[in-house]
Structure 1
Amino acid sequence: MTDRPEPWEPGSGPVAAGKRHAPATERNRDAIVAVLREELPQSGLMLEVASGSGEHAIHFAAAFPDLDWQPSDPDPVALASIAAWREEAGLSNLRPPVRLDAAAPWPAERADAILCINMVHISPWAATLGLLRGAGACLSPDGLLYLYGPYVREGVETAPSNLAFDASLKARDPRWGLRRVEDVIAAAYAEGLRFDRLVEMPANNLSLLFRRR
């Protein structure tokens, strides 16, 4: 079963106002950290695109205290949630969230790595193209672009649960849906990014890793 988008739940704790909880983050965050430990630099600025509730940003900033983390999202509700989680966590290496729409011009000027988790399939293709364009422009030489989520691959059977998930996404918005890995790789190459490797992840998800050429 893939990590399906679920309605956010109200947060809890001393800074509950504005906090949202996305259950999928607890299921995938440690598996993602295991991949990132092999790939992230020793220091630098990590930009997370489409940070959602902000729970991944908190977990990653705690797991990599020597890295500077910049969460972002286009949704005001998400930005409020990220800010609330950040205030509660009190992590010195986690910056205040910024508004960033992947498909629009980016406020960020430089990043040593860019992460985007569970956005590509829950957004129009234009958002993915904007993400790749922004990564190609902002990443340092050989900087990492890390994508996580469910995909389809040529010559590889798609899990029935992912096929059902794809149908449900397209029913909600015909512009959404699982993308072909090959299409993402081709679009990334056009923006100055080379495909580095693919990592099989739990729950029929994949990690796709790119480097700026």
Structure 2
Amino acid sequence: MTIQKPFSQACENNKEPILQILKTVFDQPMTVWEIGSGTGQHACHFAGNLPHLTWQPTDRPENLPGIHLWRDAVQLANLLPPLSLDVADLQWPCARIDALFTANTLHIMSSAEVGLLFKRLANYLSAEATLCIYGPFNYAGAYTSESNARFDLWLKERDERSGIKDFETIMGLAAAIGLTLQADHAMPANNRLLVLQTKI
């Protein structure tokens, strides 16, 4: 059976605004680990526009074939083959993470899975790691827009364990493993891009 190359309109819509921030955050040569690469569109766009980076896509096994199709289409030397990674895995396919990017993943995960993500990160983040987390967040327990409220309802109808997470909860999990917030960028479509760094 022929596998169709997956496509996300959301990735097409947000890839350029995200890129403009990543240019300033990941401005030195390094390997960026992407958690939850999804279709692979982000990985291709960012690797293609940030040639000083080595981009490592990861996702659950069922999503890897689609990422391979996108990677094969662009043929970028700095875009590595995708690796299987589930946040619940006891062992991740890496020894150290200096830079991490993840987009539109936390609201898909359950609260327990988000907690596991940060617990696992504690084992792999270097002393000078930088993280970029993109997606919608609630602030002080409130939605930032009516569209986010509708989106959250849709998420919970699809999977009651998922849903938009509270910014304060994420900051608590981050602080517990030595991460501090460097920036909280407003993004299109009522999303945010959080930049965090390990304490030096």
**TM band (smaller chain):** over 0.9
Aligned pairs (5 A) from 1:1-213: 17-76=3-62, 78-105=63-90, 106-154=92-140, 158-213=144-199
Structure 1 distance, partners of 2:112, 2:66, is 25
Point out the structure with the larger helix share: 2
Q: Deviations over 1:109-168 (max 9, x none)?
A: 112210110000011122222222233322222211110001100186620110111111
Identity of aligned residues (%): 37
Structure 1 distance, partners of 2:141, 2:81, is 43
Q: Deviations over 1:11-52 (max 9, x none)?
A: xxxxx8442111111100000011111111411110000000
Are the counterparts in 2 of residues 46 and 114 from structure 1 also a CA contact under 8 Å? Answer: yes
Q: TM-score, normalised by structure 2?
A: 0.93
Are the counterparts in 2 of residues 103 and 129 from structure 1 also a CA contact under 8 Å? Answer: no
Structure 2 distance, partners of 1:140, 1:29, is 26
| Runs of 4+ with deviation above 3 angstroms | none
Structure 2 distance, partners of 1:140, 1:25, is 28
The alignment covers a number of residue pairs equal to: 197
Instruction: Return the letter of the residue paired with 2:21.
Output: V
After superposing the two structures, state which structure 1 stretch, 193-202 or 52-61, moved more.
193-202
Structure 2 distance, partners of 1:201, 1:115, is 15
Structure 1 distance, partners of 2:46, 2:119, is 24
Give the alignment's Cα RMSD to 1 decimal.
1.6
Instruction: Return the letter of the residue paired with 2:103.
Output: I
Q: TM-score, normalised by structure 1?
A: 0.87
Which segments of 5 or more consecutive residues in structure 1 lack a partner in the other structure? 1-15
